[in-house]
């Protein structure tokens, strides 16, 4: 679960570099700053699950779980665990004030119907066209869950991921080589190195993490993008 | 007088023939109708086509059916049992893998008399373009693929045509139910249960509590009795499930 | 609301005949004998609304109203009238034991999904192919309500009507001349003169009302049908 | 903090521009959001396209909009006001007449991200074959017709393709609601309200009772707050409506 941006053997990896950029928690913390009061949000596994801890005071976000929970709270302590109240990962959870329960068809009506402001997902790859691959590694056991509905339906799809994979290969690519979850669906990418927005179908570098240079981002990114740092950046 | 309550579970579910298509509620073990599933297993039913979100992480419920070799095909979004995949790759059981929201909507559509609908979910992916292998030969080579979906552009985006699912039978688990078949679910144990119940030509419901008729207010019924054919009382929850607190959820 | 099978001026009408066959209540009473315990039933306006009064003891029928009521009871007395609880005709109603309320989409999911055992409707015309016309008289104000959903979705469509219209014209016709509600949808017809079933796409005369001869039915029917009276008749 | 309760009804609904498409709940006067409708009238909104089951038998609600000449087009299954038909035949307002179940399903579909679906309702009738006049010229001749529907046979029966409805705004009336927008309806006043609420890009809800957050149990909420943008308190029921008894319904 710790980041490893360098690798011993992978040829296209950058040379062993000093550790720079955000930690996994740092990615979650940066992303959480962009959530707005009243947003309805669905979280994928991995870094996205860390986001709620960093939501700023005064910002109330409604967490949606695919199995029909609106207003999900933190995981339940063992003495309150109830098999009738779980998240989409089947862990016992709590509810926050004002929570509501719906069936699975209504839950995905919320997703597909554009009533979800943002879904925050991990990724295997994101392409420069906004394609996302995050559900299946060929050769492994296929299972899709709600991933394809989320990327097809949410108003915004924000990816929270490490900039390169464990072998040091860029995960922002010109074209995904892994099976797609959805096409042209990603709207933002938050990594340990940078923040990208898709605007008008083009990937744009909006921020570098503290201590990270645009050159380093360029070096570790295999996708075409526009550099739009500083004053040009606007959410 | 309409009285859908039945004491003898085995007699009730024995009308399910081997080879049937069965929609099952539940999300993992939450809201999973174990009593009905166990009855089907105890009766020796085989060659079943299940429509169910998860195969489950344990050997209860659908997992039991799997390890006992009772399954012919599974329509699901998230089977996670390794033994299921072993059987799948060995050509012993087929997997129709579909997005979870599409699964929920296909069940509702089937129950609602909607034969087909367009959805953006899965468009442009291997689950809809004809490349996903839904069945293997014993030698591990692909035997068949999910059919490519008809596509159409609405509002500038590609959508795929999906079909409503009408199952021969449905198994549903509810928290409370009455003799008219009116059901009420508890928290997220609701999940796929109302949808499976709508999609079944014949729907069995197991309830944790059999309540008096009219104890459930008409506005508080999550699935009305018109969708339910038989009501049985669920056996006590298996010890593998956490004990349910009776107090309010914080 | 009284039946008038003869008319002064309409040329194709049968000659003024002695009053024979069932009254409107009699049609409802005859139809009610065919309802089975546990049936979910929707009633149209006209004769169908009289059916509940004649349901045999020991037969429990769940009455469905399009606006989301399952388990409709009789109309509410004035002191219990509640604008939040009405039937599809917007009259205040009561509920029977075990009633449930659903929204309009679920109400019609019940209708279209085959969860309604029978809908009992009035008709302007029924054709020998089972086409039904009952929603619109050209030139009048068009309104359809749930009629087209009911005939498309219910397992059985039973028509309860007078055998001829006020001008004495047959309502069972070879082809409907009025705008259709649905095609090939009617499964039974109950009139003051007879009971017909559609089986394998063919209209079959199954019963004549007391005192009515098959010849009289033939004379007042403009549809082709098979006579299948007596022992051959089986519901 | 999410707080969707607004005191000033006129300020809230003034974001609706003339010409907007508005989905409205209610079945006749049962569950009809009169306070919101009156606000739109008082604000002088015009050229509206309403999606609503009934026009109503009185001059309240949609009937008021009609007699004040605020309507451009009505999508409905059962308009029964004579004055509505007078305007329709005179070419002043258009009528998209559709089966009631199709109307309910189109609203749900729009709210659920389903752009189109097949249904058997209306197949082979003048409402789907292109012959129904949805607009007249001032001289009484037909100006336009409802488009013929695409048809397809499923299970041996003809079905028609119908489109989901997404309305610019939705007006909903609930019995109870809280500041998070969670709503609960009472008896058959539920009807089209949850569906209109799902279909609106922006949904206003008027509630008879504003309740404390968490007074509504999560399992008892008929329309969750994610579908609702603004909550106002309904003005006392008009005297034309029967007084509502507070006792239980027999």
Contacts of D104 in chain A (CB under 8 A): none
User: Residue B2's Cα: distance from chain center in Å?
Assistant: 26
Mark whether C207 is an active-site residue: no
Please give the Cα distance from D197 to D204 (Å, whole number). 8
| Nearest residue of A to residue B84, measured between CA atoms | A141
Range of the domain at B227: 9-115+164-233
The reply to whether B144 falls in a domain is no
The reply to whether B33 falls in a domain is yes
**Residue A81, min C-alpha distance to chain B (Å):** 7
Nearest to C103 by CA among D104, A108, A110: D104
For chain A, give the mean pLDDT. Answer: 91
Nearest to C209 by CA among C10, C24, C55: C24
User: Hey, what are B32's tokens?
Assistant: 């999973």
Give C17's pLDDT tier (boundaries 50, 70, 90).
low
> Which residues 2-41 of B are in CB contact (within 8 Å) with A?
27-31
Chain segment D36-59, per-residue pLDDT in tens: 999 999 999 999 999 999 987 788
User: Per-residue pLDDT for A233 more than 90?
Assistant: no
Instruction: List the strands of the sheet with A132-133, edge to edge.
Output: A132-133, A125-127, A172-173
Integer-rounded Cα Rg, in Å, for chain A is 18
Mean pLDDT of B25-32: 95
Question: What is residue D244's predicted lDDT score, i.e. its pLDDT?
Answer: 38
Q: Which chains touch D (3 or more CB pairs under 8 A)?
A: A, B, C
Kindly report the number of other CB atoms within 10 A of residue D247's CB atom.
8
SS (HEC) of D189-219:
HCCCHHHHHHHEEEEEEEEEEECCCCCCCHH
For chain C, give the mean pLDDT. Answer: 91
Chain segment D192-222, per-residue pLDDT in tens: 999 999 999 999 999 999 999 999 999 999 9
Q: What percent of chain C is modeled with pLDDT above 70? A: 90
> Which residues 69-108 of D are in CB contact (within 8 Å) with C?
77-80, 82, 85, 95, 97-105, 107-108
The reply to whether B63 falls in a domain is yes
User: Per-residue pLDDT for D73 more than 60?
Assistant: yes
User: Per-residue pLDDT for A232 more than 70?
Assistant: no
User: Per-residue pLDDT for D232 more than 70?
Assistant: yes
Give A7's pLDDT tier (boundaries 50, 70, 90).
very low
C-alpha angle D15-D223-D188 in degrees, rounded to nearest 5: 105
Yes or no, beta carbons of B1 and C60 under 8 Å apart: yes
From the list A50, A66, A162, A228, the catalytic residue is A66
User: Per-residue pLDDT for B222 more than 70?
Assistant: yes
DSSP-H helix ranges across chain D: 9-13, 34-42, 62-67, 82-89, 100-111, 193-199
- The structural domain count of chain C equals 1
DSSP letter (8 states) at residue D40 = H
- State yes or no: chains C and A have 3 or more CB pairs below 8 A: no
C-alpha angle D188-C153-D158 in degrees, rounded to nearest 5: 140
Mean pLDDT of D89-115: 98
User: Hey, what are C97's tokens?
Assistant: 């034991």
The reply to whether A45 falls in a domain is yes
Nearest to B26 by CA among B95, B96, B79, B84: B79
Chain segment B58-74, per-residue pLDDT in tens: 888 899 999 999 999 99
SS (HEC) of B146-209:
CCCCCEEEECCEEEEEEECCCEEEEEEEEEEECCCCCEECCHHHCCCHHHHHHHEEEEEEEEEE
Please give the Cα distance from A13 to C196 (Å, whole number). 81
Pair D205, D177: CB distance under 8 Å: yes
Is the sign of the CA dihedral D177, D180, D181, D186 positive or negative? negative
| Strand C125-127 versus strand C132-133 pairing type | antiparallel
Question: What is residue C8's predicted lDDT score, i.e. its pLDDT?
Answer: 39
Question: What is residue C116's predicted lDDT score, i.e. its pLDDT?
Answer: 98
User: Per-residue pLDDT for C2 more than 90?
Assistant: no
| Strand B157-163 versus strand B116-119 pairing type | antiparallel
The reply to whether D240 falls in a domain is no
Yes or no, beta carbons of A100 and D198 under 8 Å apart: no
Yes or no, beta carbons of B114 and D115 under 8 Å apart: no
Contacts of D109 in chain B (CB under 8 A): 117
The reply to whether B89 falls in a domain is yes
Yes or no, beta carbons of A112 and D114 under 8 Å apart: yes
- The structural domain count of chain B equals 1
Those residues whose C-beta lies under 8 Å from the C-beta of residue A190, and which sit 6 or more positions away, are A27, A30, A31, A158, A159, A160, A161
Q: What is the CATH number of the domain that holds B56?
A: 3.40.1080.10
User: Per-residue pLDDT for B242 more than 50?
Assistant: no
The reply to whether A4 falls in a domain is no
> Which residues 46-105 of C are in CB contact (within 8 Å) with B?
58, 60, 62, 64, 70-71, 95, 97-102, 105
Range of the domain at A127: 24-234
The reply to whether B128 falls in a domain is no
Q: What is the CATH number of the domain that holds A213?
A: 3.40.1080.10
Contacts of B178 in chain C (CB under 8 A): 98
Q: Does B219 touch chain D (CB under 8 A)?
A: yes
Yes or no, beta carbons of D118 and B115 under 8 Å apart: yes
Kindly report the number of other CB atoms within 10 A of residue D203's CB atom.
29
Q: What's the burial of B201, exposed, middle or buried (CB within 10 Å: 0-12/13-18/19+)?
A: middle
Those residues whose C-beta lies under 8 Å from the C-beta of residue A57, and which sit 6 or more positions away, are none
The reply to whether C6 falls in a domain is no
**Residue B121, min C-alpha distance to chain A (Å):** 5
Question: What is residue A5's predicted lDDT score, i.e. its pLDDT?
Answer: 35
Question: What is residue B236's predicted lDDT score, i.e. its pLDDT?
Answer: 85
- Pairwise pLDDT comparison (A8 vs A109), residue with the higher score: A109
């Amino acid at each position: 679960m710790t980041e490893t941006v360098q690798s011993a053997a992978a040829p296209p990896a950058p040379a062993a570099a000093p550790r720079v950029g955000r930690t996994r928690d740092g990615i979650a913390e940066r992303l959480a700053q962009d959530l707005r009061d009243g947003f309805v949000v669905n979280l994928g596994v991995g870094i996205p699950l860390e986001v709620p801890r960093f939501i700023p005071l005064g910002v109330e976000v409604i967490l949606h779980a695919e199995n029909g929970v609106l207003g999900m709270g933190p995981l339940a302590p063992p003495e309150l665990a109830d098999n009738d109240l779980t998240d989409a990962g089947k862990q016992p959870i709590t509810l926050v004030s004002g929570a509501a329960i719906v069936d699975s068809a209504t839950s995905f009506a919320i997703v597909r119907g554009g009533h979800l402001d943002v879904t925050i997902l991990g990724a295997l790859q994101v392409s420069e066209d906004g394609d996302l691959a995050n559900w299946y590694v060929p050769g492994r056991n296929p299972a899709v869950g709600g991933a394809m509905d989320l990327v097809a339906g949410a108003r915004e799809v924000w990816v929270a991921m490490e900039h390169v994979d464990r072998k040091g290969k860029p995960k922002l690519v010109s074209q995904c080589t892994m099976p797609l979850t959805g096409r042209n669906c990603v709207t933002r990418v938050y990594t340990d190195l940078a923040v990208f927005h898709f605007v008008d179908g083009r990937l744009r570098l909006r921020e570098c993490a503290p201590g990270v240079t645009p050159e380093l981002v360029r070096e570790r990114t295999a996708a075409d993008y526009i550099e739009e740092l500083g004053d040009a950046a606007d959410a | 007088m309409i009285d859908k309550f039945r004491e003898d579970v085995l007699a009730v579910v024995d009308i399910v023939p081997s080879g049937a298509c069965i929609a099952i509620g539940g999300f993992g073990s939450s809201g999973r109708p174990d009593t009905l599933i166990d009855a089907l297993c105890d009766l020796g039913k085989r060659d079943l086509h299940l429509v169910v979100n998860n195969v489950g992480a344990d050997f209860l419920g659908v997992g039991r059916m799997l390890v006992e070799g009772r399954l012919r095909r599974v329509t699901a979004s998230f089977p996670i049992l390794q033994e299921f995949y072993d059987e799948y790759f060995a050509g012993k059981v087929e997997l129709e893998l579909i997005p979870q929201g599409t699964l929920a909507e296909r069940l509702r559509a089937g129950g609602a008399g909607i034969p087909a609908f367009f959805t953006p979910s899965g468009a442009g992916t291997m689950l809809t373009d004809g490349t996903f292998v839904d069945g293997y030969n014993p030698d591990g080579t692909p035997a068949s693929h999910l059919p490519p979906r008809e596509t159409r552009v609405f509002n500038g985006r590609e959508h795929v045509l999906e079909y409503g699912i009408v199952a021969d039978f449905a198994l549903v688990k509810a928290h409370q139910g009455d003799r008219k078949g009116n059901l009420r679910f508890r928290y997220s144990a609701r999940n796929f249960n109302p949808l499976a119940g709508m999609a079944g030509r014949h729907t069995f419901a197991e309830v944790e509590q059999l309540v008096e008729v009219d104890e459930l207010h008409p506005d508080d019924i999550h699935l009305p009795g018109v969708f339910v054919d038989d009501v049985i009382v669920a056996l006590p929850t298996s010890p593998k499930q956490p004990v349910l607190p009776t107090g309010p959820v914080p």
